[in-house]
Structure 1
């Protein structure tokens, strides 16, 4: 049976395409595992003495309510650091023994957001920084967590506190109160856990604990 002229042209085109290198090739055999997806963002856990903070690149906040509220406040910053603490102690420019003792009791908390141009490994000592890759889903959960942790004013904007002694940072009221078992280090460990990293926040009180668990998570991610 004769093949219509139009169909003969289609068959010739299909044959020619399959003759090209790699065209119409059979799929390669694999071990069934999908290639790892590149991280949506790279976070850093930063130790600042007894206190830990979470560093995010500014571009990771893009398109989120958190980014819309904070990025205009730090126009020259490429990184934002988030830290949590007892408001009375954390916002005091020179806390005394009474403020330190107050940290043993629950109370209102504050979140400090600081802007930095250099990346954390350049701004802080190498031993005080842990680099952690985060997937897109984890980044979205983390940004939602940080946004929820900021108390809002009547307009729905983060509630800024009047303390201005930190040249790099702005203090905001926290929506969650401070407690000895929910201090700055427990807060950062919880944030990393919410971001999908294998960091167990239970029992974290000291900066060394948070850093140790973050380093273990970084090794798992690298392996």
Structure 2
């Protein structure tokens, strides 16, 4: 039997998310790494309840500054992000989805640990084909979340870059010139999830935003460690948590 509150379904489960009655909040943070989700829950949230661990994709709900908020890993790539975000939206009633992830810089003005707000997401993915659109779709963030995130960053004294990012299906690209071409079009950085999240959110009429931390600079061969990516991208996390 399902329990609903204002149309939101708390006891429903999917093959990938099994809350067992635990709440999933209307606002959720979505790191790719489930261990980053665990770090956020343990470091920032109060009254934490685990709502998922299927396939190791850890999910938690708690309170931050008196507001209910959830956090869950999504894995790598548009297919994984799209699967989890679709279920969170359509099955569990999530309204605000904030990706907090890492990205590789492809512009000289970006440095390690810089923060990027993705106002748009260019992509080499064919994910939009399912919509049978009679042209090319411009993939953009929700302005309400983007505006609130910028105001939060300003209050916290955090400098951010706002612009277009690349969501690529390809990590090891046979075309060694591909990122140079995207860079020439003003793309700030490359990652693998934002375009799928934004399309799912737009189609469902909910809000989405990607907040990214530069984990490596592709052209300068600079990089952070996996451990640093898991636990030290706290500026990005603290901006996102204020969006609940």
Q: Same fold (TM over 0.5)?
A: no
User: What TM-score do you get using the length of structure 1 for normalisation?
Assistant: 0.23
Larger Rg computed on CA atoms = 1
User: What TM-score do you get using the length of structure 2 for normalisation?
Assistant: 0.22
